[in-house]
Amino acid sequence: MKNKKILIVTHQFLPHVSPRTTRWSLLIDYLVDQGNDITVLSGTRPQASAKNYKVLYFGNKSISSVINTVRQNSNDSTSSNLKKLMFRILKHIYRFLFKTFAWPDYAMFWIFTIYKNKKKIHDDYDIIISISLPFTSHVCAYLLTKRLNAEWYMDIGDPFSLKKFSSENNKYLFSFINRFIEKKYYKNASKIIFTHKEASELHMKYFDIPSSKVVNGYPIGIIDKNSLSKSINYNYSQKPLKIGYFGIFTDRVRDPENYLKLVHNFYSYKFEHFWYTNQESKKFLNKISNNQIHNIYDLVSRDKATKIMLEEMHILLSIGNFNKYQLPSKVIEYISLGKPVLHFAEIKDDPLYKFEDLFKNFKIINKNTSNEEIDKFLKVFELGEFNFDYKTFDSNFTSKKIINDLS
């Protein structure tokens, strides 16, 4: 894909921290290097101007302001008790209304913003690419395709109507329309990108999507030889071994409870955990551990997270999902750094089992993993015997692979 004019529609973009923003910042860099003219249509206010592509920001300024005020004041330690109580009540009302009536998801008001400003978006694009989550991005892209004569590519991060738990909206109200709209969009799209084979097969079967439309694009990363060198030469004999987790947890989707039970059985190594996560996940961690977990921090930017991983952590931790159709995309970025990666699998058909044969710094563990297995895996790094497989990574987990498959 070269010398195309491309509009990327994504409610979430930089500086917002999420798997989607990380993935598409890398893909955009590659597309620009290939001579493509990129414009990002975003609902996230940019903090700095992009160097090699344009950003069109259309946000819900008044609505966002109200929501942020409610959130901040409900947790503000300097506010009076009465004021905090009032804002907490408002926050619960807001959550109830959104969980009950919002469609397709929390970003629903962006649809009206894009519709109102659609004439400001020029009609000379070759390709429109929409990115979920949230699914709202696809709704906005569909509206734009009605007036822009361009091919439409959909990037599906997680299931929408087929998600069993933590659905994006009230399934009791919207189950039919969710599936109707999703099928309609897949029919209209020229290409549909899924993160792995299991997810694409599920959607192809349920929505009758022809294989000619489907691209399986695993999560991606970039190889930095300086970073790899730091990881390979890191002092892995230090104790305690520091384990870093960077991400969020979702009830009945991704939960660290079984992993925490397992680590109590590790005797040869003393582990010290560091958790970088959001407010809801902090509450979740404290709840399942009776407030016994320490070293819990806020999510940080991708650059800062990478610096912490390289300079402060011995091991990087991934927690698997309770279904095989969602894949924790951070794993590829972990692997690309060259640090030992432990992935706790909750299910027997976790889609990441195939990665064990590809990368020597990746180890699947589960509730039955023995202390000896962990010891054998980490000994390779302690002895300085680890070598990274550049060729396998470059062939399967880079921007080049996905863009070539789309072309």
Burial of 302: CB neighbours in 10 Å, binned 0-12, 13-18, 19+: middle
Q: Is the dihedral of CA 258, 261, 265, 269 positive or negative?
A: positive
**In this structure, is residue 98 part of a structural domain?**
no
Give the single-character DSSP code of 339.
S
Same domain (yes/no): 214, 238? no
CATH code for the domain of 284: 3.40.50.2000
- The helix/strand/coil state of 228 is helix
**In this structure, is residue 381 part of a structural domain?**
yes
**What local confidence, expressed as pLDDT, does residue 265 receive?**
65
pLDDT band at 23 (very low <50, low <70, confident <90, very high): confident
**In this structure, is residue 89 part of a structural domain?**
no
**In this structure, is residue 77 part of a structural domain?**
no
Same domain (yes/no): 168, 196? yes
Q: Which of 338, 393, 327, 333 is nearest to 361 (CA)?
A: 338
Q: How far is CA 358 from the centre of its chain?
A: 22
The DSSP H or E segment spanning 335 is helix 330-337
Summarised one tens digit per residue, pLDDT across range 77-112 is 555 667 667 767 776 776 777 778 888 988 888 999
Q: How far apart are CA 58 and CA 262, in angstroms?
A: 46
| Number of domains making up the chain | 2
**In this structure, is residue 157 part of a structural domain?**
yes
Q: Is the dihedral of CA 202, 205, 209, 211 positive or negative?
A: positive
Same domain (yes/no): 165, 285? no
Same domain (yes/no): 283, 369? yes
Q: Which of 120, 125, 116 is nearest to 145 (CA)?
A: 125
Same domain (yes/no): 212, 229? no
User: What predicted TM-score, i.e. pTM, was given to this entire model?
Assistant: 0.84
**In this structure, is residue 175 part of a structural domain?**
yes
**What local confidence, expressed as pLDDT, does residue 159 receive?**
87
What mean pLDDT comes out for the span 180-186? 96
Q: What's the domain range around 316?
A: 225-387
**What local confidence, expressed as pLDDT, does residue 185 receive?**
97
Q: What are phi and psi of 33, to 5 degrees?
A: -60, -25
Same domain (yes/no): 131, 234? no
